[in-house]
Chain A
């Protein structure tokens, strides 16, 4: 009415561009899919000795470790969405976009479209690799659907964090710097061993409060235990919290970026 296209139209246009751009970058896609799968096999082989520890909750470390892939996929969503936007900033595309009636919300939500589509694609590969590797999903087909739902929420949340970093710094290199930090956060969680088998007090404390641990425990419970509603509820609550925080950070960073532009 006021000359601005409808938000849905803006989101659709930016989202479609984001999806196409993501899918057209094999150098980005292939490592993001292959790396977590390789790390699953490598880590589960390297840590197989853990199965002999008293109290280890699964007969197979491979099943226990399958969750690593989904979490690493979320980390790639952070780096991927942010790097694409940083490239737009560095190339001046965002500046030109700022001259159009495009709304900030349309830009951020649309940009996340690529992260979500890619997250679902990744999850499909990870599940397939897990099943081929001999893993079983204790919660069955319903559990798989819940894993997908979790993956989508995580892709939005972590992707938004990457976008916020890109808008804040305008540097693809700085966004890539988030990759190791997120990776370390992953390692400071229950990703490798359950809380009961972490003997160092300070580490157990960090792993207990680390939001990543809740995400891991939720997905892992579906794989090795079955349905644990309380674990799932907490996991989803944390994922939604990260999503809200990420989108809020992205919105604030966008406002700052557009003011500077």
Chain B
């Protein structure tokens, strides 16, 4: 009982500290909010002409089509940004003290992940408000839309586990590109600009097996209440969470030794 309480209070302490640092530091919070919002503006506004490409038939229009991508991207990058925070904590020496102070060290990992989800929830709420003002069309039922948001929020765990795995292994901010670049590329190897059916060549072959594709296709289907690979998307979250969980736990062991 005491052991579990100690673990829970360590998670809560780390998560609340990270959230406080985020909310009190405009230099950290503003980019987190601006990035997805401006990204949404850039894609939904700048590429709207693509809705006229023959074969583009998303019923809610190009703005809603891009909203789903930006929602997932914002959530996942909320996780990646938490990897930056962990790397910074190692550079400042705070994480070392944390390793000494917390007996159940998985709590450190979970604390960062929880703070990443709080960060993602804030960003997703902000993006949604902006998207609604820009003409987002929610055609799906409240349950469908709720599932879309749950799926997007949970995808944040994948981003944070990946970035924490890097941060805990290298323990320096210099590897920040390694945290964000692979995720960014993975996102863009999915059907970002046009539906999957309009992709051709090598990118279509990759998009067909890219896990992010299932998330986006499921999200876009849920937004308009149509059938889509929703079950596969939940599997992606589950399997990805297990694999990246092992990746970040082994990194935690590496940090303990280092």
Contact = CB atoms under 8 A, between A and B. Distances in A.
Interface of A: 25, 27-28, 31-32, 34-35, 38-39, 42-43, 45-50, 52-53, 76, 79, 83, 86-87, 90, 169, 171-174, 176-181, 183-185, 187-188, 192-193, 197-200, 202-203, 207
A172 B31 contact: no
Contacts of A87: 91, 172-174
Contact of B185 (A39, A90, A179, A183): A39
B193 interface: yes
Contact of B174 (A27, A34, A169, A202): A27
A173 B25 CA distance: 11
Contacts of B31: 177-178, 180-181
Interface string B160-204: 000000000010111111101100110011011110001111110
B52 interface: yes
Given A48-B201, A173-B173, A174-B27, A184 B43 contact: no
A176 B189 contact: no
A50 B194 CA distance: 10
B95 interface: no
Contact-residue size bin, chain B (C-beta under 8 Å from the other chain) = 35 or more
Q: For chain A, what secondary structure do more than half of its interface residues adopt (helix, strand, loop), or is it mixed?
A: helix
B170 A27 contact: yes
Nearest to B40: A184
B34 A50 contact: no
Given A173-B28, A192-B47, A27 B38 contact: no
B53 interface: yes
Nearest to B204: A45
Nearest to A197: B49
B142 to A, nearest CB: 29
Contact of A193 (B46, B54, B202, B203): B46
Contacts of A25: 174
A176 B173 contact: yes
B149 interface: no
A223 B213 CA distance: 33
Which of A25, A86, A179, A200 counts the most B-chain CB atoms under 10 A from its CB? Answer: A200
Given A34-B181, A172-B173, 9 more contacts: A27-B178, A49-B194, A49-B198, A86-B173, A187-B42, A187-B46, A188-B46, A192-B47, A193-B46
Contacts of B77: 180
B46 A203 contact: yes
